[in-house]
Amino acid sequence: MIEAAARRALPKAHRMPAPYPHLLSPLDLGFTTLKNRVLMGSMHTGLEDGRKHFPAMAAFFAERARGGVGLMVTGGFAPNIEGWAKPLAGTLSTSGGAKRHKLVTDAVHAEGGKIALQILHTGRYGYQPFCVAPSRIQSPISPFTPRELSARGIERQIRAFVRCAKLSREAGYDGVEVMGSEGYFINQFLVTHTNHRSDEWGGAYENRMRLAVEIVRRVREAVGADFIIIYRLSMLDLIPDGSSWEEVVLLAKAVADAGATIINTGIGWHEARVPTIATSVPRGAFAWVTQKMRKELRAAGYMLPLITSNRINMPEVAEAILEEGCADMVSMARPLLADADFVNKAAANQRDQINTCIACNQACLDHTFKSQLASCLVNPRAGHETTLLIRAVAKKKRVAVVGAGPAGLATATTLAERGHEVHLFESAAQIGGQFNMAKLIPGKEEFSETLRYFARRITLTGVQLHLGTRVTAAQLLAQKFDEVVLATGVLPRDAKIPGSDGANVLSYVDVLLHGKAVGARVAIVGAGGIGFDVAEFLVTAPGHSPTMNLHEWLTEWGVADPGTVRGGVVRPQPAPAARQVTLLQRKSGKLGKGLGKTTGWIHRAALQMKKVEMIGGVNYERITPQGLFVTYGEKHSEGQLIECDTVVLCTGQEPLRELLEPLRQAGVKTHLIGGADEAGELDAKRAIDQGTRLAAAL
Ligand code: FAD
Ligand code: NAP
Ligand code: SF4
């Protein structure tokens, strides 16, 4: 099964002829029909957690309904306080609450869409003191130890699920999704890892799965036959003592018998040490798991539709998965944050216009984990549909945008879309700025999709692009622009380490952009995002990014066929490192602390697997032909030579804004954005957001 999927690996762009006949065909559920096979999977945006956000949530879903998606699922709503993900998390437990949701369901239905509410009980994952679980076992991702439920307590939770489903119907939803995967409450009953009970809710598997089956059976009884019930089933737990394949299949059949309309795929508990949605996960990496389940169910005569999920971000990927019979529907969540019009564009044969989700998690999941509203790095309007408006201009201006990195691209295309005359100057022969380096990092191949999107958008919006033009202040003044936007980015910081002018010293730009030769033993100075990325680049053999080869990736992270091993996890077997790399920083403490909240652990684990040595708390004394000499501590006393052939400098960046003063002195209205404005803490999320907001206001 895995072998077959590995052969498929990353579906090639344009492999399927548009307009994606499988993806766009309707799905008849008996009592209702979905217009296509796209489910917008549940995403917690934070809009669920406050009454004041309901108008924004209605606009958010209405925009995606207009975009053509077949069925959407809301972010998780708790059925009661015990089920809260965090204090005061969105809850649906009263008729008053249901009335508020009418705003959302009416807005979606007005656009011809369909929407289900996700019932999410987090159990021991709850980041709050009232959390409950089958047994009193704390999870590694919450500081709160759950209260063990009595049998009566379990009954109360089931009733809360049923009440929440009935209220969802009252609120006008087309269905509910019962969240049974990702290690949440229902999942916690299923495995002995978290269920140590000896009553009728623990012990034998028949007892451990009773909660899931009871919830679906009693929800179906309560809501009637003509209401969608999606059951999100953990098909691959990715934890050592997770469910066996026989157990997962037994549960799938039981929830189908109990009244589920559709089974959705869940992959990996939140505490699993295998990445499941990050950008380094191959596209469609887990479709083979749903396919395995689909074969089991069809062989036993179960015909209910199955949804597959995780890292499906372009229509041709989804189409190939459906064509191969892996599933009946695909779930895409973040790709619809990135582009609300995804389905309409696919249907109009405009895949080249899709703003592709690059799976960075930077503005969505990372925000959620910091209790901020979710948005999207490549689409700052996501979650801000009512406030960030791109309106046609009343008075057309001539605007120069200097620099075609992410900041300049977002600014220029948004300005032109609004109706301004825009000239975009770029000194390089191609657009993209630093994204041209990011896309070369193994596991960051998706970044090239953003450049493809902007290249197309430049053409469509009529931006006049001047490549290979290092524009000067004098040239800009001569052309008499109404306004100038400087998006000229950054220069690598000179760390002024004695010996850094030696032949064995390179900058990250030399390594990535200019392809300079790097020796077998490398010391990387600076362990920020770029230092980590350069380390990943240097330990990977050229052309061997595991992200582009599903079989290699599964082997590297220790993912196995769940039919052969419980939970589907085995010992990771990474390919040997292509070089011996030492990564250093001056700060003491763990390296990579400042990386993404939900992805930093993946970068650290990936480098540890390649035996990269990580050293903090160093002083860089000098670079010699033998290597890098460092000392430790304030007194610079103890010293050590890190022997290496090449030293690569990744010591941060400084803004490049040489054009600012001459333009301002000449009285030109000049704006500074992206790295040119502020290089510290700069990332593409800020660059694109700042550019888009400036362009929306000019
Ligand atoms: P830049 O991307 O630096 O673009 C500036 C552009 O201006 C350049 O193309 C330059 O040629 C042009 N220019 C300068 N002067 C002139 C002139 N006078 N005339 C014409 N053109 C000029 N960020 C993330 O958020 N997530 C990541 O995962 C991530 N990974 C990265 C990995 C690597 C290896 C690197 C190098 C960067 C990464 N970044 C990442 C950072 C991100 O790429 C930058 O924050 C972003 O590119 C900054 O955008 P910008 O438009 O301000 O500047
Ligand atoms: P960065 O994150 O600021 O890291 C710079 C590194 O250089 C730090 O390790 C810093 O650590 C060190 N440093 C700074 N000044 C130094 C000096 N004078 N001498 C020696 N070392 C020095 O910057 P970056 O790595 O260049 O990345 C640029 C931006 O791109 C960042 O904002 C980052 O968010 C973004 N980016 C993001 C990702 C991602 O995955 N999200 C990936 C790549 C880049 P010490 O001071 O402790 O030595
Ligand atoms: Fe995708 Fe990144 Fe946008 Fe999240 S922030 S939706 S991962 S592109």
CA nearest 346: which of 667, 67, 112, 103? 67
DSSP E strands, 421-574? 421-425, 464-466, 483-486, 490-492, 505-507, 521-525
Q: Cβ(142)–Cβ(131) under 8 Å?
A: yes
- How far, in Å, from the CA of 650 to the mean position of ligand 1? 14
Name residues contacting ligand 1 (CB within 6 A).
Answer: 360, 362, 402-408, 425-428, 433-435, 437-438, 441, 470-471, 487-490, 512, 529-530, 533, 656, 674-675, 682-685, 687
Give the ligand with the smallest distance to the CA of 688: 1
Q: Which residues pair with 648 in a beta bridge?
A: 506, 524
Can you spell out the DSSP letters for 346-368?
HHTT-GGG--------TTTHHHH
The pLDDT-based confidence of 638 (bands split at 50, 70, 90) is confident
The reported pTM is 0.95
Question: Is the CB of residue 118 below 6 angstroms from any atom belonging to ligand 3?
Answer: no
DSSP E strands, 487-610? 490-492, 505-507, 521-525, 580-584
Domain ranges of the chain: 17-368, 398-492+655-697, 505-540+578-651
Which of 434, 537, 586 has most ligand 2 atoms within 8 Å of CB, for mutation?
586
- How far, in Å, from the CA of 376 to the mean position of ligand 3? 5
Q: How many CA atoms lie within 13 A of 196 on its CB side?
A: 7
Q: Give pLDDT tens digits for 106-122.
A: 999 999 999 999 999 99
Q: Give pLDDT tens digits for 176-221.
A: 999 999 999 999 999 999 999 999 999 999 999 999 999 999 999 9
Query: Is pLDDT at 10 greater than 70 in this prediction?
Result: no
- Rounded to an integer, what distance in angstroms lies between the CA atom of residue 260 and that of residue 219? 9
Query: Is pLDDT at 90 greater than 70 in this prediction?
Result: yes
3-class state of residue 601 by DSSP: helix
Q: What is the pLDDT of residue 447?
A: 98
Q: Which residue minimizes the CA distance to atom 43 of ligand 2?
A: 529
Q: Is domain 505-540+578-651 classified as CATH 3.50.50.60?
A: yes
- Rounded to an integer, what distance in angstroms lies between the CA atom of residue 142 and that of residue 174? 33
Which of 493, 683, 694 has most ligand 1 atoms within 8 Å of CB, for mutation?
683
CA nearest 333: which of 26, 117, 69, 684? 69
Select from 3.20.20.70, 3.40.50.2300, 3.40.190.10, 3.30.70.100 the CATH code of 17-368.
3.20.20.70
Residue recorded with tokens 């973040």: 334
Residues of the chain with pLDDT > 70, as a percent, come to 97
- How far, in Å, from the CA of 590 to the mean position of ligand 2? 14
Tokens coding 69: 């998606």
Tokens coding 279: 């950008």
Tokens coding 248: 């997962």
- How far, in Å, from the CA of 288 to the mean position of ligand 3? 24
Q: Which residues are tagged catalytic?
A: 184
CA nearest 205: which of 254, 169, 239? 254
Q: What is the pLDDT of residue 9?
A: 45
Q: Cβ(494)–Cβ(508) under 8 Å?
A: no
Q: Give pLDDT tens digits for 14-55.
A: 444 558 999 999 999 999 999 999 999 999 999 998 889 999
Closest ligand 1 atom, residue 360 Cα: 28
- Rounded to an integer, what distance in angstroms lies between the CA atom of residue 318 and that of residue 463? 32
φ, ψ dihedrals at 248, nearest 5°: -65, -40
Tokens coding 340: 């609300």
Query: Is pLDDT at 431 greater than 60 in this prediction?
Result: yes
Q: What is the pLDDT of residue 326?
A: 98
Q: Which residues pair with 175 in a beta bridge?
A: 116, 228
Q: Cβ(693)–Cβ(414) under 8 Å?
A: no
- Other Cβ atoms less than 10 A from the Cβ of 156: the count is 13
Sign of CA dihedral 361, 366, 367, 369: positive
Q: Which residue minimizes the CA distance to atom 15 of ligand 1?
A: 488
First to last CA, the chain: 54
- How far, in Å, from the CA of 182 to the mean position of ligand 3? 20
φ, ψ dihedrals at 515, nearest 5°: 60, 35
Q: Mean pLDDT, to the nearest integer, of 548-574?
A: 96
Select from 3.40.190.10, 3.40.50.10300, 3.40.50.10470, 3.40.50.720 the CATH code of 398-492+655-697.
3.40.50.720
Torsion angle of the four alpha carbons 399, 403, 406, 407, in this order, in degrees rounded to the nearest 10: -50
Angle of the 287-299 helix axis to the 245-258 helix axis, nearest 10: 60
- Other Cβ atoms less than 10 A from the Cβ of 690: the count is 23
Tokens coding 679: 């290089």
Q: Which strands sit side by side in the sheet containing 421-425, from one edge to the other?
A: 464-466, 421-425, 398-402, 483-486, 669-672
- Rounded to an integer, what distance in angstroms lies between the CA atom of residue 360 and that of residue 445? 11
The pLDDT-based confidence of 679 (bands split at 50, 70, 90) is confident
Tokens coding 319: 């189409």
The pLDDT-based confidence of 7 (bands split at 50, 70, 90) is very low
Q: Give pLDDT tens digits for 279-289.
A: 999 999 999 99
3-class state of residue 400 by DSSP: strand
Q: What is the pLDDT of residue 83?
A: 98
Q: How far is CA 29 from CA 33, 150, 195, 348, in A?
A: 6, 38, 35, 25
CA nearest 615: which of 602, 633, 599, 597? 633
CA nearest 286: which of 36, 81, 1? 1
Q: What is the pLDDT of residue 17?
A: 54
Tell me the average pLDDT of the chain.
95
Q: What is the pLDDT of residue 1?
A: 44
- Encode burial over 6-18: b for 16+ CB neighbours within 10 A, e otherwise: bebbbbeeeebeb
Residues of the chain with pLDDT > 90, as a percent, come to 94
Q: Give pLDDT tens digits for 226-271.
A: 999 999 999 999 998 899 999 999 999 999 999 999 999 999 999 9
Q: Which residues pair with 624 in a beta bridge?
A: 627
Give the ligand with the smallest distance to the CA of 653: 2
Q: Mean pLDDT, to the nearest integer, of 499-504?
A: 97
Q: How far is CA 245 from CA 194, 231, 264, 289, 326, in A?
A: 18, 17, 16, 10, 17
